[in-house]
């Protein structure tokens, strides 16, 4: 190859690399840095123990106190399901060494049209085939879109706001009977910081009356483990 052409090719490569590094809206994955930051913030172990202990020493009424609810957000390979998928491990009040209550699947994608992150809850159509997930997350590599269903009306939408992400469902839109005998309306709000997750889920009857649960009057506050345990195996 002509030496001049080689030099021109090298210059073009260098210029392209610098443009990629200098443009805050471009990453090598093709997604905005906002999405990468969200995934980085979310992955890891979260525990509301500090809130639970503080409330136990306060004058707060017992029915307004929160229970301990440790969670481990584990990023998984979900076969042909695109985006970023987390298997969220929920533990009992004894912490990460206690009993595993359940594992749920959540998918996160970037909407170029609306410039926000879409958060979907994935429901496995055939739990006997893929569940229980505990110790068997490799099975998720076999997932296809025919194996899952979603309810777009219950999606959450996350956007960056100064130093954290704010997420919420569309008010009045999410109706489900997955956890109750009768349909209920769910509204979810969240704030995600680098080391703190604030979550407030509220349930309502179809007539609009709030269904009170233990601690449901106020948000749950989770702190991230400082060690940032990002192991694929919780």
In the 3-class helix/strand/coil scheme, how is 137-157 assigned residue by residue? Answer: HHHHHHCCHHHEECCHHHCEE
Average pLDDT, the chain: 84
Report strand pairing: 84-91 vs 100-111: antiparallel
Please give the pLDDT value at position 179. 65
What percent of the chain lies above the pLDDT cut of 90?
68
Q: Quick check: 93 pLDDT over 60? A: yes
Q: How far apart are CA 137 and CA 182, in angstroms?
A: 32
- Under 8 Å between Cβ of 154 and 104: no
Six-digit token string for 5: 């052409």
Write the burial class of residue 177 (CB in 10 Å: 0-12 exposed, 13-18 middle, 19+ buried). Answer: exposed
Least reliable range by pLDDT among 55-69, 88-102, 123-137 = 123-137
Please give the pLDDT value at position 213. 83
Number of CB atoms found within 10 A of residue 226's CB? 8
Half-sphere exposure of 195 (CA within 13 A, CB side): 5
Six-digit token string for 48: 């509301």
Enter the DSSP assignment of 68.
P
Please give the pLDDT value at position 31. 80
Please give the pLDDT value at position 94. 93
* pLDDT band with cut points at 50, 70 and 90 for residue 121: very high
**Torsion angle of C-alpha atoms 83, 87, 90, 94, degrees rounded to 10:** -130
Q: Quick check: 6 pLDDT over 60? A: no
Q: Quick check: 233 pLDDT over 80? A: no
Least reliable range by pLDDT among 24-33, 106-115, 171-180 = 24-33
Q: How far apart are CA 43 and CA 40, in angstroms?
A: 6
Q: How far apart are CA 96 and CA 70, in angstroms?
A: 7
Q: Quick check: 24 pLDDT over 50? A: no
Query: Percentages helix, strand, coil for the chain, rounded to the nearest 5?
Result: 25, 35, 40
Half-sphere exposure of 135 (CA within 13 A, CB side): 1
Give the chain's end-to-end CA distance (angstroms, integer).
53
């Amino acid at each position: 190859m002509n030496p001049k052409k080689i030099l021109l090719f090298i210059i073009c490569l260098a210029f392209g690399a610098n443009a990629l590094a200098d443009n805050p809206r471009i990453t090598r994955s093709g997604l905005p840095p906002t999405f990468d930051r969200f995934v980085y913030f979310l992955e890891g172990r979260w525990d509301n123990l500090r809130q639970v202990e503080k409330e136990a020493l306060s004058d707060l009424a017992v029915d307004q106190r929160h229970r301990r609810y440790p969670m481990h957000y584990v990023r998984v390979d979900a076969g042909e399901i695109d985006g970023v998928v987390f298997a969220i491990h929920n533990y009992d009040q004894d912490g990460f060494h206690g009993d595993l209550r359940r594992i749920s699947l959540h998918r996160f994608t970037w909407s170029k049209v609306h410039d926000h992150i879409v958060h979907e809850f994935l429901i496995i159509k055939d739990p006997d085939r893929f569940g229980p997930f505990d110790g068997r997350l490799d099975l998720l590599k076999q997932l296809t879109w025919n194996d899952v269903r979603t309810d777009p009306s219950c999606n959450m939408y996350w956007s960056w706001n100064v130093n954290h992400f704010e997420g919420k469902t569309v008010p009045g839109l999410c109706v489900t009977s997955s956890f109750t005998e009768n349909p209920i309306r769910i509204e979810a709000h969240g704030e995600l910081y680098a080391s703190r997750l604030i979550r407030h889920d509220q349930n309502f009857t179809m007539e609009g009356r709030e269904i009170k649960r233990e601690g449901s009057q106020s948000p749950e506050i989770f702190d991230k483990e400082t060690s940032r345990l990002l192991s694929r195996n919780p």
